[in-house]
């Protein structure tokens, strides 16, 4: 498998999961400005949408969109427990979390990367994300991870987008449980390894 990634993007979450599952893969960097891979390929030829993450399962078969990639990977090794089985009620809860992270946290933070955004709009997005963090805080006061006691693909995804807060001066210390949660995940060997590799190749 080939994972197409760029530093400081949502592609970190499947990178973490690949390492959690000890699956063999090749990591290929994409330049977000030129849309060229480090091998000189036109990334639009791999993913016509033009953005990471993209997972090439085999020649000509590419999965895009983080939540789809995460579920695909976790289902390759169900015994690892990173995702509930398809016939379990908890699978719906997992999909619920992935949808929430994707639409409310990921999509809520991403516009803040736009340095041209007017102050009023930036304040509106910041206020909305603050309310979403309030919700996460209330849940994580009782559970170690999003699904309870066990780390899952949803945690890999949430950890990834929480990492963007450093670029927007959003201080997670305001949400103590959320801050502890992020610190706990940072200590996982898969997370440390993924971050180290991406930083070394930055």
What CATH number corresponds to the domain at position 39?
Answer: 3.40.30.10
Across 111-121, average pLDDT? 92
Return the pLDDT at 147: 97
The verdict on 110 and 40 lying in the same domain is no
pTM of the model: 0.96
Average pLDDT along the chain:
96
The verdict on 70 and 127 lying in the same domain is no
Say whether pLDDT at 60 is over 90: no
Q: Do the beta carbons of residue 131 and residue 172 sit within 8 Å?
A: no
The verdict on 184 and 92 lying in the same domain is yes
The verdict on 75 and 136 lying in the same domain is no
Q: Which of 6, 8, 24 is nearest to 73 (CA)?
A: 24
pLDDT in tens, 125-140: 999 999 999 999 999 9
Return the pLDDT at 201: 79
The verdict on 60 and 97 lying in the same domain is no
The domain total for the chain is 2
The verdict on 110 and 143 lying in the same domain is yes
How many Å apart are CA 169 and CA 40, to the nearest integer?
Answer: 35
Check the CA dihedral 46-194-34-53 and report its sign.
positive
The verdict on 52 and 22 lying in the same domain is yes
Return the pLDDT at 112: 93
The verdict on 8 and 60 lying in the same domain is yes
What CATH number corresponds to the domain at position 107?
Answer: 1.20.1050.10
The verdict on 183 and 120 lying in the same domain is yes
Where does residue 59 rank: exposed (0-12), middle (13-18), buried (19+ CB within 10 A)? exposed
Q: Which helix (H) or strand (E) is 165 found in, with range?
A: none
Phi then psi dihedrals of residue 134, to 5 deg: -60, -40
The verdict on 66 and 108 lying in the same domain is no
Q: What would you report as the CA-atom Rg of the chain, rounded to the nearest whole angstrom?
A: 17
Range of the domain at 58: 2-79+190-200
Say whether pLDDT at 151 is over 90: yes
Residue 69 neighbours by CB distance under 10 Å = 25
The verdict on 63 and 87 lying in the same domain is no
The verdict on 34 and 107 lying in the same domain is no
């Amino acid at each position: 498998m080939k994972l197409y990634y760029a530093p400081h993007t949502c592609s970190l979450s499947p990178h973490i999961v690949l390492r959690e599952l000890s699956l063999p893969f090749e990591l290929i960097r994409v330049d977000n400005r030129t849309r060229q891979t480090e091998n000189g390929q036109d990334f639009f030829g791999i993913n016509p949408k033009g953005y990471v993450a993209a997972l090439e399962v085999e020649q000509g078969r590419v999965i895009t969109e983080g939540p789809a990639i995460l579920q695909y990977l976790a289902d390759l090794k169900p015994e690892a427990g990173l995702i509930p089985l398809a016939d379990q009620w908890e699978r719906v809860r997992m999909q619920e979390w992935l949808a929430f992270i994707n639409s409310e946290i990921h999509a809520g933070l991403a516009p803040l990367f736009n340095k041209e955004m007017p102050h009023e709009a930036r304040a509106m997005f910041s206020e909305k994300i603050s309310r979403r963090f309030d919700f996460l805080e209330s849940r994580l006061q009782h559970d170690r991870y999003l699904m309870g006691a066990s780390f899952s693909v949803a945690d890999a995804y949430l950890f990834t987008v929480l990492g963007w807060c450093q670029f927007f001066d959003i201080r997670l210390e305001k949400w103590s449980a959320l801050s502890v949660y992020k610190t706990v995940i940072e200590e996982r060997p898969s997370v440390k390894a993924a971050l180290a590799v991406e930083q070394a190749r930055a």
